[in-house]
Amino acid sequence: MFYSRYFIPTVKETPSDAEVISHQLMLRAGMIRKLAAGIYNYLPLGLRSIRKFEAIVREEMNRADAIEMLMPSVQPAELWQESGRWTFYGKELLRFKDRKDNDFCMGPTHEEVITDMVRREIKSYRQMPINFYQIQTKFRDEIRPRFGLMRGREFIMKDAYSFDVDSAAADGSYNKMFNAYHRIFERCGLNFRAVEADTGSIGGSSSHEFMVLADSGEDAIVSCDACRYAANVEKAEARPLQPTVGVELLSLEKKATPEMKTIVDVAAFLGMSTDKTIKTLVYASDAGEFVMAILRGDHELNEIKLKNSMGWDEIRMATEEEILQITGSPIGFLGPLGLKRPVPVLADLAVQSLANTVIGANEKDMHYINANPGRDFAPDRYIDLRNVQSGDACPRCENGKLEMWRGIEVGHVFKLGTKYSQALNATYLDADGKEQTIFMGCYGIGIGRTVAAAIEQNHDENGIIFPLPIAPFHCSVVAVNAKDAGVMAAAEEIYFKLEKLGIEVLFDDRDERPGVKFKDNDLIGIPLRLVVGSKGLAEGKIELKVRKTGEVLQLPIEAAIEQVRQLVADALGCGN
Ligand code: ATP
Ligand code: MG
């Protein structure tokens, strides 16, 4: 590609509305432009990276026996009503009517459409296992679209859906996708983890998220430093603590704690550390049910664990008014003892290990000290309710400690069981001619989000450092002085030689100062750069620079070309 005939509108200034580095750099490198909130034009350079990543995804999906198809983005409401999601999906589902007043939506995902196709076409156990995938545009009316392609409203996703005769066969399909995802993100040279993830209201079945590690990631994840356990903090299990033994239980006593509303204040006032105290929270469901959760003072409630343990679809904190009705007390002095209106009390497992602890007395400015679980208060259930913390013992192995990371969710694999096949009546006839329900799995990868995540993980002060497999071009050839006919002729020859070798080259033939060219080439993150100048040419040499390491080599022309060929082959290697 000749730079002068191409379109790369780079920008010097950091755009003010871009918070994360990948968004800033994609704008500055002329990869994307915003059309409306969460809706972007993919400019030529951005599209090249997107297409590169799509090609890797396609290859690995095909290798794992998934079959490509394409479903429409406009979907009829009837299917969503059948699955029950027309009402459940909420405002993220963009709904509209056609001229005949029929309801439609823009597809945020395609379980309904594919299940409808399959229930019409798949009739026999002989037609399974089968897995369909597509790379297609989704629309989700996200409440807070942000970070460029990372959280758009319109975005490209690869989604796959597997269909199997039973749960064990579905596990097999799931494992195949799980392995394919590993290959995909490995081939892109990304530092990632597959973590156990919450399955939300679908429950029971299992799910993994693929997380690219990056400080700006929206998800907190943990991994064990000794075994393979890794999980989203939303889901990560806390290992029960050792019970406290041999402590003399003192008598319960009510104590004034004037204006001490936070657990930190209360603990300091009583001269204790927060891990010896209890904090109390009250939550509500959409249906108007309530629950009281009690945790060790230094622990953080995991709302998803609480929501799942109550079997609720949604959860929110109770209002001050509701708390007053339930406990008779203003916030800050809540506890499980002496409620005005009984609600279920759930305690985190760690509460069991406390002795002579502190709880709110459900009375303004009052707490109990020397409260002992079992003796003074008895929660309805002890369950795992807290977020794990860095350094916690691993729930799976004996010696491991949990480490915390930030991650960007780029992929998600999910065992669906019969949730959609049951709702849409997708059945097949087994070997005995008996009708059975199909088992499903679904598997998503955010295409644009992965490219953005790759930039988030690979950049420096000069710009993007693309992993070669998803770089818009493998190599650039920079002619230092476009006015020098000798330099231009030599650079052009090198360009054509590389192209012939199957290397994707951006030939910077622009009549610009070398500094401008180098800056742009750094910014757009092309992994390899050959610089052709009159001085070097006089000695028959050109310069090879590796963007990632900064390594610079002066090499004879043919040797430089061979070196580029080798480096490209190595970087693409694991795909072959
Ligand atoms: P998130 O929790 O980030 O909203 P999700 O759980 O809603 O994601 P899935 O339904 O699992 O996402 O979608 C599959 C993949 O699609 C995600 O792993 C992610 O890579 C991508 N994706 C989801 N929402 C967006 C979005 N708004 N913009 C870009 N990519 C997205
Ligand atoms: Mg997800």
- Tens-digit pLDDT profile for residues 354-364: 999 999 999 99
- Distance CA(236)–CA(240), nearest Å, equals 13
H or E element in which residue 552 lies: strand 552-556
Look at residues 457, 521, 499 and name the one whose alpha carbon lies nearest to residue 150: 457
Share of the chain above pLDDT 90, in %: 94
> How many Cα atoms occupy the beta-carbon half-sphere of 271 within 13 Å?
0
Residues with CB under 6 A from ligand 1: 109, 140, 142, 151-152, 155, 157, 409-412, 444, 446, 448-449
pLDDT of residue 90: 87
Look at residues 231, 196, 279, 274 and name the one whose alpha carbon lies nearest to residue 392: 231
pLDDT of residue 201: 57
Angstrom CA distances, 381 to 28, 278, 281, 342, stand at 54, 16, 15, 14
The tens place of each residue's pLDDT in the chain, 576 residues long, gives 999 999 999 999 988 889 999 999 999 999 999 999 999 999 999 999 999 999 999 999 999 999 999 999 999 999 999 999 999 888 999 999 999 999 999 999 999 999 999 999 999 999 999 999 999 999 999 999 999 999 999 999 999 999 999 999 999 999 999 999 999 999 999 999 999 998 865 545 689 999 999 999 999 999 999 999 999 999 999 998 887 788 899 999 999 999 988 999 999 999 999 999 999 999 999 899 999 999 999 999 999 999 999 999 889 999 999 999 999 999 999 999 999 999 999 999 999 999 999 999 999 999 999 999 999 999 999 999 999 999 999 999 999 999 999 999 999 999 999 999 999 999 999 999 999 999 999 999 999 999 999 999 999 999 999 999 999 999 999 999 999 999 999 999 999 999 999 999 999 999 999 999 999 999 999 999 999 999 999 999 999 999 999 999 999 999 999 999 999 999 998 544
The residue whose CA is least distant from atom 21 of ligand 1 is: 446
Instruction: From the CA of 209, give the closest atom in ligand 1.
Output: 18
pLDDT of residue 200: 66
Q: Which one of 110, 188, 412, 445 would you pick to mutate in the ligand 1 pocket, going by the greatest count of ligand atoms within 8 A of its CB?
A: 412
H or E element in which residue 496 lies: helix 485-500
Angle of the 21-28 helix axis to the 447-457 helix axis, nearest 10: 100
Count of Cβ atoms closer than 10 Å to residue 305 Cβ: 23
Instruction: From the CA of 108, give the closest atom in ligand 1.
Output: 10
The residue whose CA is least distant from atom 14 of ligand 1 is: 444
Instruction: From the CA of 218, give the closest atom in ligand 1.
Output: 3
- Token pair listed for 241: 């603590």
The residue whose CA is least distant from atom 26 of ligand 1 is: 151
Instruction: From the CA of 142, give the closest atom in ligand 1.
Output: 27
The residue whose CA is least distant from atom 23 of ligand 1 is: 446
Starting from the CA of residue 444, give the closest ligand. 1
H or E element in which residue 453 lies: helix 447-457
Q: What does the mean pLDDT of the chain come to? A: 95
- Distance CA(329)–CA(199), nearest Å, equals 36
The residue whose CA is least distant from atom 18 of ligand 1 is: 411
Q: Which one of 410, 449, 451, 456 would you pick to mutate in the ligand 1 pocket, going by the greatest count of ligand atoms within 8 A of its CB?
A: 449
443, β-bridge pairs: 160, 413
The residue whose CA is least distant from atom 11 of ligand 1 is: 412
pLDDT of residue 244: 78
Starting from the CA of residue 442, give the closest ligand. 1
DSSP-based three-state secondary structure for 499: helix
Starting from the CA of residue 159, give the closest ligand. 1
How large is the C-alpha radius of gyration of the chain?
29
- Distance CA(292)–CA(486), nearest Å, equals 80
The label of the residue with tokens 């480096």 reads 567
Cβ(125)–Cβ(430) below 8 Å: yes
Strand runs (DSSP E) across 126-166, as ranges?
Answer: 130-139, 154-164
Provide DSSP, 507-548: EE--SS-HHHHHHHHHHHT-SEEEEE-HHHHHTTEEEEEETT
pLDDT of residue 232: 96
